[in-house]
Structure 1
Amino acid sequence: MTTIDATRPRRAVSTARLARLWGEFVALYIGVPLACAFLLRPEDVVNVLAVSAAAGVILLALTPGWRWVRLLICQPIRDLTILAVFALVAAGIIYSLVERVAPWAYLSLPTQRTDLWIMIMALYPFLSALPQELLFRALFFERYGVLFGWHGDHARVPWLAIFVNSLCFGLAHLFYWNWVAVGLTAVGGLAFAYAYTRLNSFPLAFLMHVAAGQLIFTLGLGLFFYHGAIGMG
């Protein structure tokens, strides 16, 4: 696929727009996760997250300068190489965690619930990873990156923006109420954010997210990432 230069010129942002962006940001990336964790019933969380994802897509479409072709920008050979290395590292980290916190769960899903595992492998990319990447990478950086010093320049991405993105991504999983879910997603968020910003590749961020999620459910940490896990220590 041909690489497209999506770097946007730096634009001055009015005080009124900054205030509006801060309001949206706090509501979407802090208010919603805290409400899911502290106020909502577990059975209501999925609906709220679905509405938030839909609202995020609308906000992204309304973002000045946004073009949907941005989601197709990539360098296939480079990105596939990085993806392979990431998958190997992620598999090692996830396996080590399984051995520490849930050794009995190792490969339990594909071996004991093969039908459910196949369904998760097939649906996870589109029902979970894709909406999350649209919300936490595309929308976060294209609409709210300016709040943290990023103006679309992929050669100079402030680490503050990536770090805040990682924290927000981890916070979004607080409703599971276990450190595995929050910690893994925060660390993964660093990699996904770096792929989207510095490497200028939404496809890479998406595929890394897919690989991490599928490894989690395959190797045995999936018990920390479903609604039955809410309240686990």
Structure 2
Amino acid sequence: MERGAGKLMKLRTRQGLMMECLLLFLFIPALLALLPPFIPPMPLLWALALYCLVALRRDPAFHRRELWNRKPFPAALPSICMLFAAGAALIAALVWKNSPTLFFTFTREHPVVWAVVMLLYPVFSVYPQGIVYRAFLMHRYRELAPGRQKETALILLSAVSFAFMHIVFRNWVAMALTFPGGLLFAWRQLRTRSLLTSSVEHALYGCFLFSVGLGSYFYARLI
């Protein structure tokens, strides 16, 4: 009887987690994309990050040090820099070839605004996204992933959810650009268990996308 009750409780827990995951990472972004754009995405991100942070801090199985954990950062930095150099060169080349009028336009025409974005974006956008799509998602739904391919499944779930969230900007470019980044940032988070490390990497790419002229694809125009 106890074993049967335990299995039933575990099944109910899994079902609850699946419903929560679908609600937070599928239904809500899809609904926001379908409704007229009247709510700024940033406050919604902060509210979701707060929910995820509270849930993580209440979970005894979660190691709170992962929310920062600067220890792995120095060892990961060379890899981060080499991958970023290659990625930035590829992105710059694609922008120059396909949309030369956008090439570093934001940086050249609005240097003050650009500098403010470079300072505020990592703190108010990148880190909250890290809480939601890496620290929370990959810990909360770990038991939903298949056993032998658990890490691969979690990386894919994180990347797909991260990319799909950008549907609120109503263009396919934002989603296409963020999916490979989502794979990299999730992989980095699993390898280092350091939200500082994966957030620094995320910030590098995000800041470069704004700088090179692709920021218009990550801007929500409200009514």
If the length of structure 1 is used for normalisation, what is the TM-score?
A: 0.83
Structure 2 residue identity aligned to 1:140 = L
Matches within 5 A, 1:29-48: 29-48=25-44
Residue of structure 2 aligned with 1:99, choices 79, 96, 99? 96
Deviation track 1:63-98 (CA, whole Å, cap 9, x = no partner) reads 331132122334233211111112212212321331
Structure 2 residue identity aligned to 1:59 = A
Q: CA deviation at 1:27?
A: 1.0
Q: Does 2:133 match 1:136?
A: yes
Deviation track 1:10-45 (CA, whole Å, cap 9, x = no partner) reads xx9811211221121111111221112112424444
RMSD (Å), alpha carbons: 2.2
Q: Does 2:169 match 1:173?
A: no
Q: CA deviation at 1:139?
A: 0.1
Q: What CA distance in whole angstroms lies between the structure 2 residues aligned with 1:84 and 1:157?
A: 28
Structure 1 residue identity aligned to 2:108 = T
Counterparts in 2 of 1:49 and 1:83: CA distance versus 1, 3 Å: same
* More divergent stretch after superposition (198-207 vs 133-142): 198-207
Residue of structure 1 aligned with 2:84, choices 68, 83, 87? 87
Tell me the matched-pair count. Answer: 214
Q: Does 2:17 match 1:21?
A: yes
Counterparts in 2 of 1:166 and 1:123: CA distance versus 1, 3 Å: same
Q: CA deviation at 1:58?
A: 1.8
* More divergent stretch after superposition (118-127 vs 51-60): 51-60
Q: Does 2:203 match 1:214?
A: no
User: Which residue of 1 is the match for residue 118 of structure 2?
Assistant: 121
User: Which residue of 2 is the match for residue 183 of structure 1?
Assistant: 176
Q: What CA distance in whole angstroms lies between the structure 1 residues aligned with 2:35 and 2:55?
A: 25
Q: What CA distance in whole angstroms lies between the structure 2 residues aligned with 1:190 and 1:61?
A: 25
User: Given that residues 102 and 220 in structure 1 are in contact (C-alpha distance below 8 angstroms), is that contact kept between their aligned partners in structure 2?
Assistant: no
User: Which residue of 1 is the match for residue 72 of structure 2?
Assistant: 75
In terms of fraction of residues, the more helix-rich structure is 2
If the length of structure 2 is used for normalisation, what is the TM-score?
A: 0.87
Q: Where in structure 2 are there 5+ consecutive unaligned residues? A: 1-6
Q: CA deviation at 1:168?
A: 0.8
User: Which residue of 1 is the match for residue 157 of structure 2?
Assistant: 164
* More divergent stretch after superposition (192-201 vs 46-55): 46-55
Q: CA deviation at 1:166?
A: 0.9
User: Given that residues 63 and 143 in structure 1 are in contact (C-alpha distance below 8 angstroms), is that contact kept between their aligned partners in structure 2?
Assistant: no
Q: Where in structure 1 are there 5+ consecutive unaligned residues? A: 1-11
User: Which residue of 2 is the match for residue 205 of structure 1?
Assistant: 198
Q: What CA distance in whole angstroms lies between the structure 2 residues aligned with 1:102 and 1:95?
A: 10
Q: What CA distance in whole angstroms lies between the structure 2 residues aligned with 1:133 and 1:150?
A: 24
* More divergent stretch after superposition (126-135 vs 99-108): 99-108
3-state SS, counterpart of residue 193 of structure 2: coil
* More divergent stretch after superposition (22-31 vs 92-101): 92-101
Q: What CA distance in whole angstroms lies between the structure 2 residues aligned with 1:134 and 1:150?
A: 24
Q: Which has the larger radius of gyration?
A: 2
Q: CA deviation at 1:61?
A: 1.9
Deviation track 1:192-232 (CA, whole Å, cap 9, x = no partner) reads 0100113433222111100011100111111111114x9xx
3-state SS, counterpart of residue 62 of structure 2: coil
Percentage of matched positions with identical amino acids: 25
Matches within 5 A, 1:42-61: 42-61=38-57
User: Given that residues 33 and 169 in structure 2 are in contact (C-alpha distance below 8 angstroms), is that contact kept between their aligned partners in structure 1?
Assistant: yes
3-state SS, counterpart of residue 61 of structure 2: coil
